[in-house]
A and B are shown apart, each in its own frame.
Chain A
Amino acid sequence: MEQPVLAHHPGRVGSGRRPQVRLGKALAPYLLSLPAGLWLLVLFLVPLIVMLSLSLQTCNFGTGACVMTWHWAEFGQQLSLYRGQFLTSVYFAGAATLIDLVVSFPIAYWIAFYGGRKKNFFLLMLLVPFFVSFVIRTVVWQFILSDQGVVLGTLKNAHLLPQSFHVLATGYAVVAGLAYNYLPFTALPLYVAIERIDRRVLDAAYDLYATKRQAFTKVILPLTVPGLFAAFLLTFIPALGDYVNQTVLGGTSNTMIGTVIQNSFLVNLDYAGGSALSAVLLAISLLGIFAYSRLLGARAIEEYL
């Protein structure tokens, strides 16, 4: 971001004739950024601090009393209890993100390069299914994939699948659900990244006798790296904390950390434990964003958000 241009008109520097106006002008950028600052403070920083402080407190839901006990051990306990669920989440979210990148790259590429005047129409087509509520879409998959449902029931009746075969209540179903639900978060940043590639660069590559394959690997792919990484973050981070797909499509041994956190707050009433787990999850997400800004610069993020 450029430094805001302050009210330094050469003729007036040091003149001090109308200090009020200068003060107002000097304050303008700060006043303009006030809503955003307040938003960050009230809706991000304060909850974050409350969450972090809560993770070190000892709470009693019955009386509502939370006492600060600096209980750092909470983190160790929660991590040792739920290390497996964290790993499952990273693994599932990673797999889903990878699938999304592989699936949406050709889509984004095609729309950007061959969409022509109908680009916006194709983008809309890509997004239309996602106008339906997230939970409803996931629950519909439950119906489609049920053991005796439209797909599996038919295949089983045709003896193409054994009777005991099932898709629901497996890790595959959860990964598939995640990949499906977060597809637009991958496709859109990728589209933006590919769309903005200057075609003249490609022409230059061909002029220099690059093959189509070389033009792709040496020109297009490197130029889309920031987009790829933005797509990765925008997909991986929400998928990491997702609990809907696991709850709706999963079985007994593929719980994700989001489900555990949800249960900590709503079922177990263990606010400290839930906060500690949330803090760890947040730390993992922040690490990703930090890596991004170090590798590709903070400005690259702005282009895709």
Chain B
Amino acid sequence: MNDEGGAGPAQERSAIDPSIWRGLTQRRMSRRTMLASAGAGGLAAFLAACGVQGTSPGGGAAASGVGTASWWARQKLNKKVNFANWPYYIDVLNGKHPTLEHFTQTTGIQVSYTEPINANLPFYAKIRPSLQAKQYTGFDIIVMTNNSPPLGYLINFGWLTPLDQSMMKNFYTYAGPLVKNPSWDRGNKYTMAWQSGWTAIGYNSSVIKNPGSSIGILFDKKYAGKVGMMSDPQELGSAGLLAIGVDPATSTESEWAKAAKKLQQQKSDGIVRAYYDQSYINHLKNGDTLVSQVWSGDIFQADLNSKYRDLKLLIPDEGAMSWTDNMCIPMNAQNPKDAMMLMDYYYDPQSQAVVEYYGNYVCPVPAARQVLLNPAGWAKTTLKEMASSIGLPPSVTADAPTVFPTEQYIKSSRPYYQYKSQEELTAWNNLFLPITQGA
């Protein structure tokens, strides 16, 4: 961030009208809830798994020369692109998406924008048969989260089209440090970030006056029986790794075991009240828990209500896990060049400013802040039109540290471990899942 001087530090958040945080986590909540309750989704994944017999992955990029410079040179613009995203994740005005309209106006490329992704795993199970059969999935752009196995599978099986680096001009000019050359995709070979968020610590400041600045607060016997942890093994394991001073992204299996031991101890000491799904936020609000693992946006949303303004976010010294949803092009996409155009378009600060003004997620383009503060060009009229339905000026979004993170937030961000195989995922889950499933 080059213009951090003007932004209010995180601690001054309360001075900002809290309604800025509206909508911050809606998508994430809906996705968690869906995942938790979607027996149907699980069933779909389950049946899909049964339906496909022992086909080995293949038809990947390396084998076919897909994604090389000469391959890209042969691709043509088809003036259409199919974009699959998560629900409630893009700017909306009067039932339309201003950025997509503007993109079509300026490039002539028609965008078919759909929101079929409610959870990573079921969606992956849905497109996998097409990828295995070397067919078009029906989507030129899909959005996958970095902390869920499918993104790793897609990369490792060669099921993503390597991006045309020469068509990423906006990206290389404007992408922020959190999303450029990320650990889950070195050199942005396959992905460009869509939006991000954090998993950090939330605490009740009316009881905990001096929370300190360490993740150790989750392991403090002072709060025995009042600590909420997440039941998601990836979130739980990552917290354990941070607590033993290990960077999750580069951790090893022996370190996982140490982290599991630490978490097991935390449980047997009676510190953990329960392992929660999205419902953790209700328990934190009720006072059932005093300190908990949280998704950053939930705390800000809770702060909307004066009743819960005591809930504070703590980004510990050891770091906070940051997740990012990534745009990528599946293999055999019919309109890869159009897809590249659209993906890079979202790294134009003007389009990103419009997306953020509506969405309030962590912005991958720091320069969008200037657009929000001093709107210019096409974004100016669009932001103005949107203002009445949003009810707050764009400058409020610009000053939110959760949209445009402070240096401290960026430094504290830790990426998740990227599983390289099914065996690794199983090994991880066999360590951390039993902790949440005590009999």
CB A197 to nearest CB in B, in angstroms, measures 40
Rounded to whole angstroms, the CA-CA distance of A62 and B149 in the bound complex is: 8
CB A89 to nearest CB in B, in angstroms, measures 9
CB A45 to nearest CB in B, in angstroms, measures 15
Tell me which residues from 390 to 439 in chain B have a Cβ below 8 Å from any Cβ of chain A.
Answer: 421-422, 425-426, 429, 433-434, 436-439
Q: Which residues of chain A are within 8 angstroms of B288 by Cβ–Cβ distance?
A: 146-148, 166, 168-169
Does A27 interact with chain B (Cβ within 8 Å)?
no
Rounded to whole angstroms, the CA-CA distance of A169 and B425 in the bound complex is: 28
**Would you call B121 and A269 a contact (CB within 8 A)?**
yes
In the complex with contacts A251-B274, A265-B46, A63-B439 CB distance below 8 A: no
Tell me which residues from 26 to 80 in chain A have a Cβ below 8 Å from any Cβ of chain B.
Answer: 50, 54, 59-67
Q: Which residues of chain A are within 8 angstroms of B433 by Cβ–Cβ distance?
A: 263, 267-268
Does B277 interact with chain A (Cβ within 8 Å)?
yes
**Would you call B53 and A252 a contact (CB within 8 A)?**
no
Q: Which residues of chain B are within 8 angstroms of A250 by Cβ–Cβ distance?
A: 274
**Would you call B437 and A63 a contact (CB within 8 A)?**
no
A91 (CB) vs chain B CBs: closest residue: B439
**Would you call A169 and B439 a contact (CB within 8 A)?**
no
Q: Which residues of chain A are within 8 angstroms of B188 by Cβ–Cβ distance?
A: none
Q: Which of B56, B129, B429 has the most C-beta atoms of chain A within 10 angstroms of its own C-beta?
A: B429
Q: Which residues of chain B are within 8 angstroms of A253 by Cβ–Cβ distance?
A: 267, 438-439
In the complex with contacts A62-B157, A267-B429, A50-B50 CB distance below 8 A: yes
Interface-facing stretch out of B90-98, B250-258, B279-287, B332-340: B279-287
**Would you call B277 and A247 a contact (CB within 8 A)?**
yes
Taking a contact as CB atoms closer than 8 A, the residue among B38, B128, B287 that contacts A148 in the complex is B287
Does A222 interact with chain B (Cβ within 8 Å)?
no
A65 (CB) vs chain B CBs: closest residue: B54
Rounded to whole angstroms, the CA-CA distance of A63 and B50 in the bound complex is: 11
In the complex with contacts A169-B274, A271-B49, A63-B55 CB distance below 8 A: yes
**Would you call B225 and A65 a contact (CB within 8 A)?**
no
The tally of residues in A whose CB lies under 8 Å from a CB in B reads: 48
Taking a contact as CB atoms closer than 8 A, the residue among A255, A265, A268 that contacts B439 in the complex is A255
0/1 string, B74-103, CB within 8 A of A gives 1: 000000000000000000000000000000
CB B254 to nearest CB in A, in angstroms, measures 21
In the complex with contacts A146-B286, A169-B273, A251-B273, A266-B439 CB distance below 8 A: no
The 3 A-B pairs of least Cβ separation, nearest first, read: A84-B439, A148-B287, A146-B286
Does A110 interact with chain B (Cβ within 8 Å)?
no
Query: What residues make up the interface of A, taking CB atoms closer than 8 Å to B?
Result: 50, 54, 59-67, 81-82, 84-85, 87-88, 135, 139, 142-143, 146-149, 164, 166, 168-169, 247-248, 250-255, 259-260, 262-263, 265-271
CB B62 to nearest CB in A, in angstroms, measures 17
Taking a contact as CB atoms closer than 8 A, the residue among A81, A139, A252, A260 that contacts B274 in the complex is A252
Rounded to whole angstroms, the CA-CA distance of A85 and B434 in the bound complex is: 11
Does B153 interact with chain A (Cβ within 8 Å)?
yes
Does B233 interact with chain A (Cβ within 8 Å)?
yes
In the complex with contacts A61-B422, A62-B422, A266-B275 CB distance below 8 A: no
Q: Which residues of chain B are within 8 angstroms of A267 by Cβ–Cβ distance?
A: 232-233, 429, 433
Q: Is the interface of B mostly helix, strand, loop or mixed?
A: helix
Does B48 interact with chain A (Cβ within 8 Å)?
yes
Does B52 interact with chain A (Cβ within 8 Å)?
yes
A259 (CB) vs chain B CBs: closest residue: B437
Rounded to whole angstroms, the CA-CA distance of A160 and B336 in the bound complex is: 68
Does B42 interact with chain A (Cβ within 8 Å)?
yes
**Would you call B149 and A66 a contact (CB within 8 A)?**
no
Rounded to whole angstroms, the CA-CA distance of A139 and B276 in the bound complex is: 13
Does B132 interact with chain A (Cβ within 8 Å)?
yes
Taking a contact as CB atoms closer than 8 A, the residue among A54, A65, A135 that contacts B37 in the complex is A135
Q: Which residues of chain B are within 8 angstroms of A63 by Cβ–Cβ distance?
A: 52, 55-57, 128, 132, 157
**Would you call A271 and B46 a contact (CB within 8 A)?**
yes
Besides A63-B56, A65-B53, 15 more A-B contacts (Cβ < 8 Å) are: A61-B49, A62-B153, A63-B52, A63-B57, A64-B48, A64-B129, A67-B54, A252-B273, A252-B274, A255-B436, A255-B438, A268-B429, A268-B433, A269-B121, A270-B426
Does B125 interact with chain A (Cβ within 8 Å)?
yes
Q: Which residues of chain A are within 8 angstroms of B7 by Cβ–Cβ distance?
A: none
B57 (CB) vs chain A CBs: closest residue: A63
0/1 string, B22-57, CB within 8 A of A gives 1: 000000000000010110011001101111111111
A253 (CB) vs chain B CBs: closest residue: B438
